[in-house]
A and B are shown apart, each in its own frame.
Chain A
Amino acid sequence: MNEKRIASQSRNNKIKWWLRNILCPLLFTIISFKLRLQDIDANKSVVWDEAHFGKFGSYYIKHEFYHDVHPPLGKMLIGLSEWLANFDGNFEFESGSTYPSEVNYKVMRQFNAIFGSLCVPVTYYTTLWMNFKFLTTLLITIMITLEHSYIVLSKFILLDSMLLFFTLTTFACLCKLNSLRDQQMTKKWSLWLLLTGINIGCVCSVKWVGLFITVIVGLYTIIDLYRHWCNNQLGRLTYYKHWLLRIIYLITIPFLIYLFCFKIHFQLLYKSGTGDSSTNTLFQVNLEGTKIKQGPRNLLFGSHFTMRSHGLSPNLLHSHPQLYPDGSHQRQITGYAHFDNNNVWEFQFIRGQKFDLGKLYLISDGAEVRLIHNNTRSNLHSHKVPSHVSRGNWEVSGYGNDADGDDHDNWVIEIVDQLPSANPNYPKEDDNLVHQFSTFFRLRHKSLGCYLTSTGLSYPAWGFSQAEIVCKNSWSKRDKSTWWNIEEHWNENLSIDEDYLPPKSKFWTDFILINFAMASSNNALVPDPDKFDSIASDAWEWPVLHRGLRLCAWLKDTHRYYLLGSPFNTWISTLSIFVFFGIMIRIAYKWRRQTLLLTENDFWSLLIQAILPFCAWLSHYLPFAIMGRVTYVHHYVPALYFAILIFGFVVDYTFGSSRSYIKYPVYLTLMGGCIYIYILFAPICQGLQGLGAKYLKLQWLRTWDIVI
Chain B
Amino acid sequence: MSGKKFKGSVVQDTPATSEVEIKEGPVRPYIVVDKSVEVVTKRTPHTLNEKLLLAVLIIIAVFVRFHKLGWPNSVVYDENHYGKLITKYAKNEFFLDAEPPMVRLLYNLVAKSSGYEGNFNFNQVGTLYTSKIPYIVLRSFAATLGLFSVILTYSTLRLSGANLYVAFATSVAFIFENAFVTTSRLILPDSPIIFFIALAVYAFKKSELYKDESCASYKYVTISAVAAGCASSSKWVGLCTIVWLGLLSIWRFTFMMGDLTKSVCKSVKHTIIKGSMLIVIPVIIYFLSFYAHISLMTNVSNDSEFISSEYKSTLIGNDVPKDIKVEVGVGSSVSLRHTGTTGGYLHSHQLNYPKGSEQQEVTVYPFVDESNDWTIELYDKPGEILVDFQNLTDRTKIRLLHNTHCRLHSHDHKAPVSENADWQKEVSCYGYQGFEGDPNDDWIIEIDKDASAPGAAQERVRAIETKFRLRHAMTGCMLFSHNTKLPEWGSDQQEITCASSGIDELTLWYIEKNENFLLPEDAELISYPKPSLLQKFVELHKKMFYMMKKLDSPHPASSSAFSWPTMSRGVDYWSNNHRNVYFLGNATLWWSVSVFLVVYAIFAVVQLLRWQVGKPILQTPEVVSYHLETLEFLLGYAVHFVPFIFFGNNLFISAYLPAYYFGILAIGLALNSLVTITFKNRAHIGYVIIALFVTSIIYFFNDHKPLAYGTEWTRDLCTKSVWSSSWDYPCKNYFGNYHEYKAFELPEPSPFTQLETHIFTQPRNTLLDPIESAQPVVNQQQQQQGQEEAQDPNIPSQERVAEQEAHFDDIMNQPGQKIFKDEFGNVLDPEEVKKILAESNAVIKEKHIVSSN
Contacts and interface: CB of A to CB of B under 8 A. Distances in A.
Contacts of A401: 853
A391 B421 contact: no
A531 B560 contact: no
B504 A230 contact: no
A323 B254 CA distance: 60
Interface stretch (A296-304, A327-335, A413-421, A494-502): A327-335
Contacts of A404: 852
A374 interface: no
Interface residues of A, number: 52
A594 B26 contact: yes
Interface stretch (A209-217, A597-605, A645-653): A597-605
Interface stretch (B175-183, B241-249, B551-559): B551-559
Interface in A586-627: 589, 592-594, 597-600, 602-603
B851 A532 contact: no
A531 B502 contact: yes
Contacts of A323: 851-852
Contact of A230 (B27, B257, B501, B612): B612
B839 interface: no
Contact of A594 (B2, B28, B560, B794): B28
A600 B2 contact: yes
B556 A386 contact: yes
B421 A378 contact: no
A354 to B, nearest CB: 23
A531 B554 contact: no
Contacts of B254: 592
B530 interface: no
Nearest to A600: B2
A388 interface: yes
Interface in B418-466: 418, 420-421, 423
Contacts of A182: none
A408 B556 contact: no
Given A388-B554, A592-B258, A534 B501 contact: yes
A702 B683 CA distance: 73
Given A229-B609, A530-B503, A594-B260, A378 B852 contact: yes
Interface centre among B1, B501, B554, B852 (most CB of A within 10 A): B852
Interface stretch (B396-404, B795-803, B829-837): B795-803
A530 B27 contact: no
Interface in B246-295: 254, 257-258, 260, 264
B786 interface: no
Interface string B806-839: 0000000000000000000000000000000000
Contact of B27 (A331, A386, A391, A597): A597
A400 interface: yes
A594 B503 CA distance: 56
A391 B503 contact: no
Contact of B501 (A378, A532, A603): A532
B503 A408 contact: no
Contacts of A479: none
Contact of A386 (B28, B554, B796): B554
B554 A378 contact: no
A383 interface: yes
A604 to B, nearest CB: 9
B37 interface: no
Contacts of B853: 331, 376, 378, 400-401
B325 interface: no
Contact of B799 (A229, A328, A533): A328
Contact of A229 (B25, B258, B554, B613): B613
Contact of A328 (B612, B788, B800): B800
Contacts of A329: 800-801, 849, 851
B852 A330 contact: yes
A345 B175 CA distance: 59
Given A593-B257, A594-B26, A384 B795 contact: yes
B482 interface: yes
A447 B792 CA distance: 12
A226 B2 CA distance: 13
B350 to A, nearest CB: 25
A353 interface: no
A389 interface: yes
B296 interface: no
B526 interface: no
A602 B3 CA distance: 13
Nearest to B556: A386
A531 B1 contact: no
A356 interface: no
B257 A406 contact: no
A592 B257 contact: yes
B15 interface: no
A594 B27 contact: yes
Nearest to A601: B1
A532 B799 contact: no
Contacts, number: 107
A230 B609 CA distance: 8
B643 interface: no
A378 B421 CA distance: 29
Interface centre among A398, A400, A407 (most CB of B within 10 A): A400
A407 B560 CA distance: 33
B175 to A, nearest CB: 33
A528 interface: yes
B847 to A, nearest CB: 12
Contacts of A406: 796, 799
Interface string B613-635: 11000000000000000000000
Interface string B1-36: 110000000000000000000000111101000000
A271 to B, nearest CB: 30
A531 B503 contact: yes
B394 to A, nearest CB: 20
B469 to A, nearest CB: 13
Given A328-B800, A598-B1, A531 B501 contact: yes
A531 B613 contact: no
A389 B852 contact: no
Contacts of B560: 391
A355 interface: no
Contacts of A598: 1
Given A532-B502, A600-B2, A593 B558 contact: no
B556 to A, nearest CB: 5
A447 B26 contact: no
A532 B28 contact: no
Contacts of A600: 1-2
A152 B416 CA distance: 42
Interface string A390-415: 11000001111100101110000000
A532 B794 contact: no
A384 B420 CA distance: 31
A544 B760 CA distance: 54
Contacts of A700: none
Nearest to A383: B795
A640 B167 CA distance: 54
Contacts of A447: 794
B506 interface: yes
B400 to A, nearest CB: 23
A464 B421 CA distance: 11
Please list the 8 inter-chain residue pairs (A to B) with the smallest Cβ-Cβ separation, ordered nearest first.
A603-B1, A592-B257, A530-B482, A532-B503, A594-B27, A330-B852, A592-B258, A399-B852
Interface of A: 226, 229-230, 232, 323, 325-326, 328-331, 376, 378, 383-391, 397-401, 404, 406-408, 447, 461, 464-465, 528-534, 589, 592-594, 597-600, 602-603
15 contacts: A230-B614, A383-B795, A384-B795, A387-B554, A391-B558, A391-B559, A407-B794, A408-B794, A447-B794, A464-B420, A530-B480, A530-B499, A531-B502, A592-B258, A597-B27
Given A331-B853, A531-B421, A594-B26, 16 more contacts: A229-B613, A329-B800, A329-B801, A329-B849, A329-B851, A384-B788, A386-B555, A391-B558, A406-B796, A408-B796, A461-B418, A530-B503, A592-B257, A593-B258, A603-B1, A603-B2
